[in-house]
A and B are shown apart, each in its own frame.
Chain A
Amino acid sequence: MIPLVSRYPLTRCRKLVVTFPTPELPPILALSDYITPNAAFDTQMSASPEFAMHMATFHSHFMFWQDVLDHCSSAEIKRTLLDHFEILFLKQVLCVYRESFCWAHSDHVQGTLH
């Protein structure tokens, strides 16, 4: 089974701030009060190569899962794969965003420094 969970970037990227490469800032943002945020030490920036690699890896694994399911001719194997997906992935997603919800309502430090 593709170790979606062990390589799942969410377990390593707990905080994210959306940024754009400065030379390529879209004109509509440049013509506004948009300020490129400074990320805290534990926060990744979406424009960083590291995050781009994380997201690309995650996406490729996810697409591979779908491809396997699309071409799987055995009903039982397909059922097992779906069970694995639900228990080992979906439930972990629920854990992560429930935790982010708790963080959002606690007195924890913000994800960015202003």
Chain B
Amino acid sequence: MDGGSSVAALTYLHRILDSLNNPDLVRITLDYLLAVPEEAQPKHPGTPKSPSALKRRKTLDSIIKLPDAAAQPSPALFSLVDLISTSLRSEYPQTVTATLKVASVLLRRHYFNTLSTLIRAFSTASHARRTIGGHNEEVDRLLVLASVIGDLVSSDRVYEEYRLDALGSLEGHPCSTALLSRGQLNLPRSPAVVQREKNLRKPFFHSINPEDAFLKSLVQLLRSFFANSVETNLSLTDTLIAIVSCGYVTLEGWLLVDPANYSYGDRGEENGPNKTRRMVQEVSKEMSEQGEEHRVLALKHAQQKPSWSPEAVPPMMSTLHNLAEQTRKFKSDIPDFDAHLSRRKLLLRVGDQLEGLPPLSPLPRLSTQANGEDQDHVSSLQRAASASFDADQSGAGPAGLAEDVLQRKITVEPVATVMASGSPKDAAPKEVLWTEDPTTPTAGESSLATQSPPPSVTLNHLLTNTVILQEFILELAALIQVRASLFEDVAFV
């Protein structure tokens, strides 16, 4: 049982955390709410307490003191972290959404206060970075996932927009200023900025423990992506992007594959290390220095795309993979799924400009416009819609038929968090049950997660969540790509 009381508290907390700017208020608020240990709080010269200030403090404490000592609130017993971890498991979608919004604002605006409280992180001063080949392989795999979900023909412009957005958000991230200007730019800083930095925790390079409870909660929500409410999914993806946006977090181990698990198996004469060595030997004829030969070999090796076993993929990424595989089932079991998905993408991009247009079956493929103006797309779609409607008119009319199709219920099971060692398809649910009766629980297949019957959603809802998933994967790929160039978090040798 859950109620609006959690939503109320979380909504106000979100507003508080989003509005906090004063360094002293930030410090005492977050240290208190997150129950930061005394020794972990940043040392600041602050304002020494005079005897009169201490006396006033004591008076205030006695005024507010509750009669029942047990009712005295103490963050050590119950902190904001406890509220977040409990609320993420709530069955009430609005509580989950409100919790994710609080977590997202904490991560975006007060990232280093969440380390060692909300997120278990560990220092990675000497952590192995992914090679440039490994980086390219990871990004390529993400783009393949996006293409599995839906057509990417018209997504080039969208992906470029995500790259630009990622660049803007990374450059504007609170942690990025120090990272980008380390010993390189000696820009003067205002006293307010200097004071603010004194009250903040010193940033350090870190990674996240894959067993971290908060991370596991996010993965758990990701598993039921298609059945989640749209608000939950938007907040969930926003929270994940907020974590990835900090330049001090290394992605290997919890999002991307640990480079220790890379393997460079024999892929044949063309791409194997034998060819590399032969090329280097040819080059080394002109280079007599032994060190130069090794360096060239290291450079070539780093550029090679590695492979890895499915077990090496962190749960977050394997869950995304399984979700993409689940869309293959949707396409095979639901007629005209691709056409519905294409139209849904266009509807969401253009928005209410397309309201009133009759549904189409199937949607003609639109070529990418040179200037990429949305208005041109709208006009083209309107022309295509009219032509298709006239050509496909029948006694019942396509509008009523399509609406009926969109409201039909589909059973969606949560995906697994591991990729099967054999085929990735083994990790996806066995069957999509397409039922016309929304009240009948599914028979046969049991839920992967719990004993309760898997949820049913309309095709309408499923299409929107599928679009959100594809856009999130594209956004994630763009962010990882831009990070690599901005923060140089890949190894070239």
Name the distance in Å between A9's Cβ and chain B's nearest Cβ: 7
Give Cα A47 to B56, complex, Å: 41
Which 5 pairs, one residue from A and one from B, show the smallest C-beta to C-beta distance? A111-B4, A15-B4, A111-B3, A16-B8, A75-B47
**Chain B window 88-100, contacts with chain A (Cβ cutoff 8 Å), 1 for yes, 0 for no:** 0010101101100
User: Chain B residue with minimal CB distance to A5?
Assistant: B64
Among B258-266, B443-451, B454-462, the stretch that binds chain A is B454-462
Select A16's contact among B11, B56, B97, B463, beta carbons within 8 Å.
B11
| Bound-complex Cα distance A104 to B82 (A) | 13
Of residues 26 to 70 in A, which have CB atoms within 8 Å of B's CB atoms?
A: 27-29, 31-34, 37, 39-40, 43-44, 46, 55, 58-59, 62-63, 65-66, 69-70
Is B382 interfacial (CB-CB < 8 Å)? no
Residue in chain B with minimal CB distance to A67: B22
> Would B73 and A95 count as touching, CB distance under 8 A?
yes
Q: Is A2 an interface residue (CB 8 A)?
A: no
Chain B contacts to A: CB under 8 angstroms: 1-13, 15-16, 19-22, 24-25, 28-29, 32-33, 47-50, 52-53, 56-57, 60-61, 64, 73-75, 78, 80, 82-83, 86-87, 90, 92, 94-95, 97-98, 229-231, 234, 344, 347-348, 351-352, 457-458, 460-461, 463-465, 468
Interfacial chain B residues near A37, Cβ < 8 Å: 94
CA distance A44 to B7 in the complex (A): 11
B49: which of A79, A97, A112 is its contact (CB, 8 Å)?
A: A79
**Bitwise interface map of A from 1 to 26 toward B, beta carbon under 8 Å scored 1, else 0:** 00000000110011111100000000
Interface residue ranges, A against B (CB under 8 Å)? 9-10, 13-18, 27-29, 31-34, 37, 39-40, 43-44, 46, 55, 58-59, 62-63, 65-66, 69-70, 75-76, 78-80, 82-88, 90-91, 93-101, 103-112
* Consensus secondary structure, chain B interface: helix
Partner of B230, one of A16, A32, A80, A95: A32
B25: which of A32, A66, A83, A94 is its contact (CB, 8 Å)? Answer: A66
Closest to B456 in A: A33
Does B9 lie within 8 Å of A10, measured CB to CB?
yes
15 contacting pairs across A/B (C-beta < 8 A):
A13-B8, A15-B3, A15-B7, A17-B94, A27-B352, A28-B468, A40-B4, A62-B15, A62-B19, A66-B21, A94-B33, A100-B5, A101-B83, A103-B5, A111-B3
Q: Check A14/B15 contact, CB under 8 A, given A101-B82, A104-B90.
A: no
Q: Which residues of B contact A101 (CB under 8 A)?
A: 6, 78, 82-83, 86
Instruction: Find out whether the CB atom of A10 lies under 8 angstroms from the CB atom of B95.
Output: no
Question: Looking at the complex, which one of A31, A59, A63, A104 makes contact with B87 (CB distance below 8 Å)?
Answer: A104
Smallest distance from the beta carbon of B80 to chain A beta carbons, Å? 8
A84: nearest chain-B partner, CB-CB:
B60
Residue of B1, B28, B344 touching A104 (CB-CB under 8 A): B1
Complex Cα gap A34–B28 (Å)? 39
Q: Is the CB of B9 within 8 A of A100?
A: yes
Contact A31 B5 (CB under 8 A): no
Are A58 and B15 in contact, CB atoms less than 8 angstroms apart?
yes
| Cα–Cα, bound, A9→B12 (Å) | 9
Which secondary structure characterizes the binding site on chain A? helix
When distances are taken between beta carbons in the complex, the residues of chain B under 8 Å from A13 are 8
User: Of A13, A76, A83, which is in contact with the most chain B CB atoms at under 10 Å from its CB?
Assistant: A83
- Tell me which of B24, B73, B74, B75 contacts A78 (CB under 8 A): B24
Q: A16-B4, A78-B24, A90-B29 are in contact. Are A104 and B95 (CB under 8 A)?
A: yes
Q: Are B11 and A93 in contact (CB under 8 A)?
A: no
What chain B residues lie within 8 Å of A110 (beta carbons)? 1-4, 92
A residues less than 8 Å from B347 (CB atoms):
27, 31
Question: What's the nearest-Cβ distance from chain A to residue B166, in Å?
Answer: 21
- Contact partners of B94 in chain A: CB under 8 A: 17-18, 37
Do residues A69 and B24 form an inter-chain contact, with CB atoms below 8 A? yes
Closest CB in chain A relative to B195 CB, distance in Å:
10
Contacts of B74 in A (CB 8 A): 94
Q: Kindly list chain B residues whose C-beta atoms are within 8 Å of the C-beta of A86.
A: 28, 32
Q: Is A76 within 8 A of B50, CB to CB?
A: yes
Q: Are the CB atoms of B464 and A70 closer together than 8 Å?
A: no
Name the distance in Å between A102's Cβ and chain B's nearest Cβ. 9
Other-chain contact of A97, B13, B50, B234 (Cβ < 8 Å)? B13
Q: Quick check: B460 and A66 within 8 Å, CB to CB?
A: no
In the complex, the answer to whether B53 meets A104 with C-beta atoms within 8 Å is: no
**B7–A69 CB distance below 8 A:** no
Further contacts, 6 of them, CB under 8 A, given A79-B47, A87-B64: A9-B12, A43-B4, A62-B16, A84-B60, A106-B1, A110-B4
The answer to whether A34 and B230 have CB atoms under 8 Å apart is yes
Query: Cβ of B8 and Cβ of A27 under 8 Å apart?
Result: no
Q: Which residues of A contact B15 (CB under 8 A)?
A: 55, 58-59, 62
Tell whether, in the assembled complex, residue B78 and residue A85 are in contact, meaning their CB atoms are under 8 Å apart: no
A43 to chain B, nearest CB (A): 5
Q: Are B19 and A18 in contact (CB under 8 A)?
A: no
